Chains A and B, each alone.
Chain A
Amino acid sequence: MAAFVAVLITVIAAGFFFLSRRKAVLVSGGVLASLHSRPGYHGFYSFLWVTLFGAGALLVFTNLSLHPALALGVAAIAGIASSLNIRAETRARNKSEKIVTGILFACAGVAVLTTIGIVLSLVFETYNFFESIGWRVDKFLFGPRWSPLSGLQDGVIDPDRVGIMPLLLGTAMITGIAMLIATPIGLFAAIFLSEFASLRLRGWVKPMMEVLAGIPTVVYGFFAAITVAPFLRDTGGLFGVNVASESALAAGLVIGIMIIPSISSLADDVINSVPQSLRDGSYALGATKAETVRQVVLPAALPGIFSALLLGVSRAVGETMVVVMAAGQGANLTANPLEAVTTVTVQIVMLITGDTDASTAAGPAFSLAFTLFCLTLVLNILAMRFVRKYREVYE
């Protein structure tokens, strides 16, 4: 119904466009130059009035559960009002441009609204959750035990069971393994591509990295669960080592592979933007290419590289699908990467998709998400700082 009304409003708007344009021509008495704005702008102005008022009314009426067709009336009144107002000196062009600029501005504002929406929704639920555990934020942050939904009585959550320490450590372990894989491979690949590789080789490797970067995370998750985890388990078995089928190693390894391209392409950009004059200076002193890279280019690019690594960490921390499909679900406190650990994101998914009453599960889930949001935000801000520092030196 609402969609149908929206179409009708558009039709009415189009009608008023032609009506107002016609009227502007009549007002001008055939001498178009006597108008301040060309007839099309008068039409456009009416069009904007009708659509804006119509859409606004439609939104308000549907939310107040009034009949949406009432919006048609509002739209028509707006159209009539705008077309009655047409004089030769009406600055229709300026007015409609103001409206359009306003619309553009509103669109840019959506980005801010999104952030506000994220923060508000996370903070709201987190606040409620903290209140329900008597503001024992210390237990939330440092408690060693995470099983918020076990032993629930009347939906009251026990503060002793909401310690996120095991989740943070699990996330840290998987992120650590991922970075251990991605950092050397990504950086060496970037160094090789930017300093040593021929144009032809670059032409092959760059698309390969883009393919690797473009593969959806769910595919990496499938790869981790179906190929990598059984492989690790069997290999471990050969050496008599017991590897859990949902080991932190498998998830970390695959996330590592996943973030190689982002690290290598960011680092590649940074290395490429180190001025050639520095390289020339080093070559002129009789340094080899490798010495130049190690002692001049890399130190110069260090802040940028550091920021690339931070963004990699941020991605690994926020990664969901790979860990949901390949990491464990029980909150273990362990330092052994061959055992199953769980992560913040896995627990969010489990809480939201679980059987527990949504209002009870939302508290811990949103609190975890808020923690995750803060964590990645800090990483991103740090990364941006480093990039800015890097730019200040060379740009």
Chain B
Amino acid sequence: MIKMKTRNVDVFYGENHAIKDVSIDILDKTVTAFIGPSGCGKSTFLRCLNRMNDTISICRITGELLMDDEDIYAKSVDPVQLRARVGMVFQKPNPFPKSIYDNVAYGPKIHGLVDNKSDLDEVVEKSLKRAAIWAEVKDRLNESGTSLSGGQQQRLCIARAIATAPEVLLMDEPASALDPIATAQIEELIDELRHRYSVVIVTHSMQQAARVSQKTAFFHMGDMVEYGDTTEIFTNPVDQRTQDYITGRFG
């Protein structure tokens, strides 16, 4: 089932043509990986999917971006509401300077998802469990989110994103700032999340893409060069550039 669909998307940063004519279908309950050398536009494109680029005034986007066949750049769609449906996790963990509980409860509170404290408690617990961090923090929910280790902070941020009850989760190199053990935990978690969400992950690590994703898109200098099943892309790439990248000729 197609969750998000983009057609002929171009992105400009002032004079710079950052994304060129990208069309892609993102499937539900699937992990899609965007790979490519740094500066290829994969993060920029990811940020189009929840309109985070709106916060940058010189950024201009053309083309069609649909979610459940609804234009997310339509006038009637408010980016604030869109972002509640399309969650995002960043490269560097960025917990708010609040307690662990309040970090997770932030989204449900501002969106009014629950009416009472016990429901909120439940949402927080569920989200922390799904982010596989419940066991580590259940006795210290009132401690500051910044007191956790890097890997824990990132899982807290994932829990925070889940608590808002999104349909799509965008992850911008979520493990690049973490050590190998924490990375493994996050990858395991992403695999879990696939059963409930459509997950899009930007990564510079091809191994990671191979491990966690079912679909892979290869970006190069603003172009989306190739898109297909992950196994297909890694074993039998069509485009020469993809092959060069995968075999490590550049990167």
Contacts and interface: CB of A to CB of B under 8 A. Distances in A.
Interface of A: 275, 277-278, 280-288, 291, 295-296, 299-300, 393
A288 B55 CA distance: 11
B215 interface: no
Contacts of B80: 286-288
A296 B94 CA distance: 11
B90 A286 contact: no
A236 B82 CA distance: 53
Interface residues of B, number: 28
Nearest to B51: A283
Nearest to A303: B97
B83 A285 contact: yes
A295 B99 CA distance: 12
B4 interface: no
A288 B107 CA distance: 11
Given A295-B106, A299-B97, A299-B98, A283 B83 contact: yes
B55 A283 contact: yes
Interface string B65-106: 000000000000000111111011110101111100000001
B164 A285 contact: yes
25 contacts: A277-B90, A278-B94, A278-B96, A280-B52, A280-B55, A280-B90, A280-B94, A281-B95, A283-B83, A284-B83, A285-B83, A285-B84, A285-B106, A285-B110, A285-B160, A285-B164, A286-B81, A286-B83, A286-B107, A286-B110, A286-B111, A286-B164, A295-B106, A299-B98, A300-B96
Contacts of B55: 280, 283
B157 interface: yes
Contacts, number: 68
A284 B50 contact: yes
Contacts of B96: 278, 281-282, 295-296, 299-300
Interface of B: 50, 52, 55, 80-85, 87-90, 92, 94-98, 106-107, 110-111, 146, 157, 160-161, 164
A280 B172 CA distance: 12
A282 B84 CA distance: 10
Nearest to A280: B90
A288 B157 CA distance: 18
A52 to B, nearest CB: 55
B167 to A, nearest CB: 12
> Sorted from nearest, which 9 A-B pairs have the closest CB atoms?
A286-B84, A284-B88, A286-B83, A277-B94, A281-B94, A285-B107, A300-B97, A296-B96, A285-B164
A283 B51 CA distance: 10
Contacts of B98: 299
A5 B107 CA distance: 78
Contacts of B95: 281
Given A277-B92, A280-B94, A296-B96, A285 B52 contact: no
A216 to B, nearest CB: 39
A232 B95 CA distance: 49
Contacts of A285: 83-84, 87, 106-107, 110, 160-161, 164
